[in-house]
Structure 1
Amino acid sequence: MLKQYMTSVLLMAFACLAPAAFSQKKPNVIVILADDLGYADLGCYGGEIPTPNLDKLAQSGVRFTNFYNTARCCPTRAALLTGVYSHQAGIGHMMDDKGADHPAYRGQLNHNSVTIAEVMKGAGYFTAMSGKWHVGHQHGVYPSNRGFDRSLHAPAGGFYYAGGNNAKLFLNGQEVTNDSTALPKDWYSTDLWTNYGLRFIDEALAEKKPFMLYLAHNAPHFPLQAPEEDIVKFRGKYLKGWEKLRQERYEKQIKLGLIDPSWKLPPINPNVKRWDSLSDDEKKRYDDIMAIYAAVISRLDKSIGDLVDGLKKRGVFDNTVILFVSDNGGNAEPGIEGRYQGDKPGNAKSTVFLGQGWAEAACTPFWAYKHHTHEGGISSPGIVSWPAGIPTSRNGKFERQPAHIIDIMATLVDLGNAGYPTTYAGQPIQPMEGASLKPAFTGKPINRKNPIFWEHEGNRAIRDGKWKLVAEKTEKWQLYDVEQDRTELNDQFDKQPDVAKKLVAKYEAWYKRVGAEEYDKTFKWFYDYNKAKQEPGAAGNGK
């Protein structure tokens, strides 16, 4: 009897101590970056495309409603990797090098910044990367020389299959042929990145180290390609058109509690043709484009499920933080027509772009798209899963504090109890610009000390608390209370002159500090938002 009692006591004591001991262990971290995924493209953010695996992560974790990127691919990757603004990291625009006189525009990560891999490696982590790199490969900047122990990377994406025109792969810094025996046979890039991510995790576990994996998908970036058996599931489902899809997503977002019902759906871009004005052949073409896009996203979600299953089989899912975001808003390139080329659009030799009509739906309920600093261009899904660290009372909750891609470095430093250096490899290192998001996982305030800033191609913005100052390159400044009016329909610039003046001054000081420069191009297919907003019915639902 005494023996049974003592055994029971010991078991109870262990049950009480085990969670505490477990919580003290450094968590593993996986940062997943999607490419050109719009705010409304996932089921848990209002979309109709089935994304059960991401939805499940959201239901067992936390969804950020105000997670921001930089509006474009390369700058977002630079900011994510370094924790400073992209201009400070040397990638103020894309990959062109403007020379030493333009340090913010060298087209590669500079050495006055450190990467999440370099920092986490110093905290004892096994660091790995798989996917799209796009932060200076052509200038000799590889994952393998910026802190990643293991990597399988594509210099800049632009493919899904081994037969793609831009399909190039580098394993731990060395180029491998697309038919190498080191790669799975007949690979599809979305699956390949996850496959190698899990291989690298196995190496980390063998070395008995916590791991930090940066999983950088090229999906759903053009050229949109997916297996035919996935595309066929969606054909015919989009013949209702982009206006109807956008309205349905908006209504679902309200039903989910994702957005405030008082935020009106902006009028659809007047450059976009009305669906009912299209011919039957045009409708079929656009339906197929959206079906291919949906298939690419569905396949992306499947890969997330494969990743989670792999983590569970290895017994590390509970203590792994998974953070899923996108690099910019939905992509309206190259304009109204999109692109639909090839004998069999959607296969490895085709080129398909989503186009402006469907991008309107991808960015629901916001204005604008990729490239632009209105909410549609800079708003991303932001899903965090961490069973061992997020209390069950937070499962499925929305986190409404603003977050930004620059916060990922600070968050990882916090999670891994890492030291962020002032110097590295003999070079002075710029301080982190972001704030740790870890407090928000449990519903606590983020300790953000500074506003959040944007500049891309002359499009600019600053968010400070509830106020957002924003303008396209061709526009005057506008001021919005994004807590009351996040769809940016009621300009407060003239009504709040003191607020506007302070924000303009803060923005101009930041612009100078990071070395931003005037951009000399604009998009001809874009249009003046202010003009459209002032038209009759502009505050309605776009009908």
Structure 2
Amino acid sequence: MLAVKTSDSRRSRLCWLVAFWATCFLMTTASADDSSLSQGQPNILLIVADDLGFSDLGCYGGEIETPELDRLANAGTRLTRFYTTGRCCPSRASLLTGQYPHRVGVGHKVEDLRRPGYRGRIPDGTATIADELQSSGYRCFHSGKWHLGTPDPTKHGFEEFYGTLISAQTFWDPDHYLRLPQGRQAIQYPEGKFYGTDAVTDHALQFLENSQTTPDSPWFLYVAYHAPHFPLHAREEEIVKYADTYSVGWDKIREERLARMKKLGIVDQNTQLTPRSQYWNYGETHTGFNPEWNTLSSERRQDLARRMAIYAAMIDRVDQNVGRILDALEAENQFDDTLIIFLSDNGACAEWDPHGFDGKSSPNNVLHVGQQLDEMGGPGTYHSVGSGWANASNSPWRLYKHYNHEGGISSPCIIHWPIGPVPKGVISHQPAHLIDVLPTTVEAAQAERSEGASGPGENLCPLLNSDGVVDRSLFFEHEGNRAVHSGEWKLVALRDEAWELYNIRSDRTELTDLAAEYPERVAKLAGEWNKWAAENLVTPLPEDYEVQYLRQPGQPAPQLQTE
């Protein structure tokens, strides 16, 4: 909880702003541009989950308990067509810079592939949200996952940092987490009391308390949780809440989620559940389709149900920690004056097959039985959830992280700003993208965007207040998987495969390929993608991504296997 009370001047400004926005919302003649600006600088809280599936949250149709995020969604705006890049590093680059990721050198991971769009790090001098806001008087803090290839977030506009520079390899070891600038002391925990998600929040709250030393300065807090990215690590008290939930299997969970999504209005009533998705095993030694749950052995089902229970527990704990931050803001009368954005960096992760992996990301799987089941998720373990459950997490879409079909790039996104121009209690079907977060936050702060921060994104506040769905073009590429959205159409392809064409408004589940029926439209959209790719350093694509899970040129295609 924050220790310093809001200043009288800030409290007076809050009261004035409440009255101002009450008047604005009653003025039906107000323009969209006028409604996009606050009369003061709001605090800004940006929360990012890691590998969270589209339908995992309760407010998006999931069975996982997420009351804190649900209340933000119910009082704010839920986006149903918010898009990412399909991968952790590129998404974070796009999020913080407002650029397509290749434009800032992070088209793949943080390894240098020796091409301008694939240098594995954002270039020196690249403007981030923090840089832009800091220059307008904001105090900027980051707790959680960085993963932009550079060694110090405090060189990119943040005055304080706690977390990891790459993906977390454990949620149990405090030595895996870093405190910057050099010389800063991380919070110390008693033996056995450290848990990564809690620690990220503890430091975020510490940063907010520190911000109260300058109570008239607004703040920007970027909280990037590592969960529910593997390894699957959770406290037993959360895991037991879901111990029996997933024994029904992924087929039943997918059906139940879709039914709730229709009831909530997240998807159209005529939305069909996609067939179980294809998967590609690590090294692409074989490929197949996620099997029917009831065809698996009893022991395998128990192992997989435990994996998903741990995954759900990780999300549950994230939600609890979001609640801790919200409680702190409410205690200090800062909740209404804070623009909050929550999203995931990509779809749920399938790596690499229906059984999941153990030990490290690889083909290695251990079938846990008996007492071994109870040990899963604790210190010293390392598991993933596998492609079958990732398919369920992304319900009702196709595929997962890495790919540009809807399951890979569709993210839940919640925007909440009680005294700002964000619709209240609304589900929005406007198309939006990570590139929009920088202009949204910078314009909400009434900051002047530097020349280096100009980009392709849009301020979401006017967009969310628009009448009708706005047509816009959005582009995607990752590991040769590629796509373009343009109005009601989506052109998408897997690596080295032909373009597929879908009417995304009537067939967002990508079930009916119209490419053969509309070859001229395919050619037009492919031409737009090629132009975008050339202008944004996407092409020529790397011949070798220097990862084991992609076939190299000349290697035979993987063999299709059935379960």
Q: Equivalences for 1:296-315 in 2 at 5 Å?
A: 296-315=314-333
Q: Equivalences for 1:343-354 in 2 at 5 Å?
A: 344-354=375-385
Partners of 2:520 and 2:186 in 1: CA distance = 64
The 8 Å contact of residues 154 and 169 in structure 1, kept in 2 or not, is answered as: yes
How much has 1:98 moved relative to structure 2? 2.4
Q: Are 2:159 and 1:146 equivalent residues in the alignment?
A: no
Partners of 1:254 and 1:303 in 2: CA distance = 28
Could you tell me which residue of structure 2 aligns to residue 506 of structure 1?
Answer: 528
- The alpha-carbon distance between structure 1 residues 309 and 507, as it changes in their structure 2 partners (threshold 3 A), is same
- The alpha-carbon distance between structure 1 residues 15 and 194, as it changes in their structure 2 partners (threshold 3 A), is closer
The 8 Å contact of residues 407 and 437 in structure 1, kept in 2 or not, is answered as: yes
Partners of 1:63 and 1:376 in 2: CA distance = 18
The 8 Å contact of residues 98 and 453 in structure 2, kept in 1 or not, is answered as: no
Could you tell me which residue of structure 2 aligns to residue 19 of structure 1?
Answer: 19
Q: Are 2:211 and 1:217 equivalent residues in the alignment?
A: no
Partners of 2:382 and 2:206 in 1: CA distance = 31
Partners of 1:77 and 1:17 in 2: CA distance = 32
Identify the match of residue 271 of structure 2 among 235, 256, 263: 263
How much has 1:376 moved relative to structure 2? 0.4
Letter of the structure 1 residue corresponding to residue 528 of structure 2: K
Letter of the structure 2 residue corresponding to residue 237 of structure 1: T
Partners of 2:112 and 2:17 in 1: CA distance = 55
- The alpha-carbon distance between structure 1 residues 340 and 498, as it changes in their structure 2 partners (threshold 3 A), is same
Task: Report the TM-score when normalising by structure 1.
Answer: 0.86
- The alpha-carbon distance between structure 1 residues 284 and 320, as it changes in their structure 2 partners (threshold 3 A), is same
Task: Report the TM-score when normalising by structure 2.
Answer: 0.83
- Aligned to 1:239, the other structure's residue is in SS state helix
Partners of 1:299 and 1:305 in 2: CA distance = 10
Q: Are 2:70 and 1:55 equivalent residues in the alignment?
A: yes
Could you tell me which residue of structure 2 aligns to residue 466 of structure 1?
Answer: 488
Q: Are 2:207 and 1:200 equivalent residues in the alignment?
A: yes
Identify the match of residue 93 of structure 2 among 56, 78, 94: 78
Could you tell me which residue of structure 1 aligns to residue 258 of structure 2?
Answer: 250
Structure 1 unaligned segments of length 5 or more: list them. Answer: 1-13, 423-428, 533-543
The 8 Å contact of residues 276 and 291 in structure 2, kept in 1 or not, is answered as: no
How much has 1:238 moved relative to structure 2? 0.9
The 8 Å contact of residues 21 and 419 in structure 2, kept in 1 or not, is answered as: no
Letter of the structure 2 residue corresponding to residue 118 of structure 1: D
- Aligned to 1:353, the other structure's residue is in SS state coil
Letter of the structure 1 residue corresponding to residue 506 of structure 2: Q
Identify the match of residue 117 of structure 2 among 101, 104, 118: 104
Partners of 2:232 and 2:141 in 1: CA distance = 26
- Aligned to 1:157, the other structure's residue is in SS state coil
Identify the match of residue 82 of structure 2 among 59, 63, 67: 67
- Aligned to 1:104, the other structure's residue is in SS state helix
Could you tell me which residue of structure 1 aligns to residue 475 of structure 2?
Answer: 453
- Aligned to 1:461, the other structure's residue is in SS state strand
Identify the match of residue 403 of structure 1 among 401, 422, 432: 432
How much has 1:144 moved relative to structure 2? 0.6
Letter of the structure 1 residue corresponding to residue 447 of structure 2: A
How much has 1:160 moved relative to structure 2? 4.6
Q: Equivalences for 1:65-464 in 2 at 5 Å?
A: 65-99=80-114, 102-111=115-124, 113-137=126-150, 140=151, 142-163=152-173, 167-174=175-182, 182-185=187-190, 186-207=193-214, 208-269=216-277, 271-340=289-358, 344-390=375-421, 394-422=423-451, 429=452, 431-443=454-466, 451-464=473-486
Partners of 1:17 and 1:308 in 2: CA distance = 20
- The alpha-carbon distance between structure 1 residues 18 and 436, as it changes in their structure 2 partners (threshold 3 A), is closer
Letter of the structure 2 residue corresponding to residue 307 of structure 1: I
- The alpha-carbon distance between structure 1 residues 181 and 24, as it changes in their structure 2 partners (threshold 3 A), is closer
Partners of 2:258 and 2:172 in 1: CA distance = 38
Partners of 2:501 and 2:44 in 1: CA distance = 37
The 8 Å contact of residues 68 and 323 in structure 2, kept in 1 or not, is answered as: yes
The 8 Å contact of residues 163 and 349 in structure 1, kept in 2 or not, is answered as: no
Partners of 1:447 and 1:240 in 2: CA distance = 40
How much has 1:162 moved relative to structure 2? 4.2
Identify the match of residue 495 of structure 1 among 514, 517, 520: 517
Partners of 2:470 and 2:403 in 1: CA distance = 27
- The alpha-carbon distance between structure 1 residues 184 and 440, as it changes in their structure 2 partners (threshold 3 A), is farther
- Aligned to 2:45, the other structure's residue is in SS state strand
Partners of 1:310 and 1:135 in 2: CA distance = 29
Partners of 1:17 and 1:81 in 2: CA distance = 28
Could you tell me which residue of structure 2 aligns to residue 6 of structure 1?
Answer: none
- The alpha-carbon distance between structure 1 residues 19 and 358, as it changes in their structure 2 partners (threshold 3 A), is same
Question: What per-residue deviation string (whole Å, max 9, x for no partner) do you get for residues 161-213 of structure 1?
Answer: 3437xx5222223387xxx6633442211111122112212222321211111
How much has 1:82 moved relative to structure 2? 0.4
Partners of 2:341 and 2:124 in 1: CA distance = 26
- Aligned to 1:323, the other structure's residue is in SS state strand
- The alpha-carbon distance between structure 1 residues 239 and 447, as it changes in their structure 2 partners (threshold 3 A), is closer
Give the paired residue count. Answer: 495
Identity of aligned residues (%): 39
How much has 1:495 moved relative to structure 2? 2.2
- The alpha-carbon distance between structure 1 residues 409 and 294, as it changes in their structure 2 partners (threshold 3 A), is same
The 8 Å contact of residues 184 and 192 in structure 1, kept in 2 or not, is answered as: no
How much has 1:74 moved relative to structure 2? 0.2
- Aligned to 2:163, the other structure's residue is in SS state strand
Letter of the structure 2 residue corresponding to residue 19 of structure 1: A
The 8 Å contact of residues 52 and 348 in structure 2, kept in 1 or not, is answered as: yes
The 8 Å contact of residues 194 and 307 in structure 1, kept in 2 or not, is answered as: yes
